Amino acid sequence: MSDGDWRAYNFSAGPSTIADEVLKTARDELLDYRGLGASIMELSHRGPDFMEVATRCEANLRRLMQIPDDYAVIFMQGGATLQASAVAANLIGSHQSADYIDTGHWSQKAIRLGADQIPVNVVASAAGSDYRSIPDPQTYQASPQSAYLHITTNETIHGLQYHRIPKGLGVPLVADMSSDIVSAPIEIQDYGLIYAGAQKNIGPAGITLVVVRRDLLQREVDSRWPAIFRYKEQLAADSMLNTPPTLSWYLCGLTIENLLSKGGLPCIAALNQRKATLLYDFIDQSAFFSNFVELGSRSLMNVPFDLADPARDQAFLEMAKASGMLGLKGHKARGGMRASLYNAMPIAGVEALVELMAEFERNS
Ligand SMILES: *Cc1c(COP(=O)(O)O)cnc(C)c1O
């Protein structure tokens, strides 16, 4: 940071790095939010000051993602994990089942949690490629009577990402977008419902975004579900059926403003492409580091990679830490390394990582 505050390059998969400008604004406003003499998290969520934060957050999100009026925006708690259950409970209506695509860890969790509520079909799986490629979206066939088809647009652990989404399915497309939301422009109209935990690309943990086509809220929901799980009730209460996570909401608002000030999603996407290309190009020419995902399915957000000699993993992580780079240890489900390159990771961070990897390889 320019004022001398030291910051590591944080490659953590989630919770993850937040833009310096956002944290500085939050710091500056922490004791005295805009002259009120109190921080935003000490104020009533129903008072005019917080209501203004919430309203501005939604308006800016709509601008950033170009969300049309026939889609509702809801902020909930419980993370993407709660959404995996809530989607099933809210959207099954009079349908018999729902379809899912298995592309890795997070889609499998959505399948398990969905199956606790409703009958589910797995209509395509990346298991056949050993989770090295996304099954071709053009081949997906929704089941008759299906309530929706669920995909995970970016598999945070396996490092797979959809670069083309399924279209013309005849059923609403539901997407867990937790780890690539607002990383590039999308066509909202291609989706029936999008959900995302905030802690990867839109702020800190504690708040979850749901964007849903309004007509889907007409589906009947079992009244045994508490109101707090039901989209229609949440929407009617402006996402304030109970006390919302006001600090997280405020920080999401600052992050969204920050993305708009940087030119919006087309500019963000171009930067994300440059960052990922830099890292993948290095890995692909390296004899020591490797990535196992097929080219067309590689994630721009999470880059898992392996050392030729796993016995040196620890040495690599220690050298990274000594050079001011955090969060590179891979998820325990697959081991190795993982660099997460979310929006808030500057290109200088990726350049520093590539330099470190080159030096480590020379000394191996
Ligand atoms: C992190 C993550 C989740 C889990 O989110 P929680 O907020 O912890 O429930 C789900 N799906 C994807 C794709 C993720 O990256």
Alpha-carbon distance 96 to 144, whole Å? 9
Q: What pairing do the DSSP bridges indicate for beta strands 173-176 and 146-152?
A: parallel
282 with 351: CB under 8 angstroms? Answer: no
Q: Which residues pair with 124 in a beta bridge?
A: 101
Alpha-carbon distance 158 to 123, whole Å? 19
230 with 90: CB under 8 angstroms? Answer: yes
The dihedral sign for the CA sequence 327, 354, 200, 159 = negative
- Residue 87's pLDDT is 98
- The CA 106 to ligand 1 mean position distance, Å, reads 7
- Residue 247's pLDDT is 98
Alpha-carbon distance 18 to 347, whole Å? 14
| Residue range 146-160, pLDDT digits in tens | 999 999 999 999 999
Alpha-carbon distance 212 to 148, whole Å? 12
- Cβ atoms < 10 Å from Cβ of 136: 11
- Residue 320's pLDDT is 98
- Residue 3's pLDDT is 55
| pTM, 2 dp | 0.97
Q: Which atom of ligand 1 is nearest to the CA of 157?
A: 15
For this structure, is 176 an active site residue? yes
Residue 1, pLDDT above cutoff 70 = no
- The CA 75 to ligand 1 mean position distance, Å, reads 15
Percent of the chain scored above 70 by pLDDT?
A: 99
Q: What residues are in contact with ligand 1 under a 6 Å CB criterion?
A: 14, 79-81, 106, 152, 156, 176, 178-179, 197, 200
Alpha-carbon distance 21 to 95, whole Å? 46
For this structure, is 20 an active site residue? no
Alpha-carbon distance 145 to 93, whole Å? 11
Question: Averaged over 229-255, what is the pLDDT?
Answer: 97
CA proximity to 67, closest of 80, 58, 78, 57: 58
- Residue 301 neighbours by CB under 8 Å, 6+ apart: 154, 156, 161, 179, 180, 183, 200, 201, 272, 276, 340, 341, 342
Instruction: Report helix, strand or coil for 184.
Output: coil
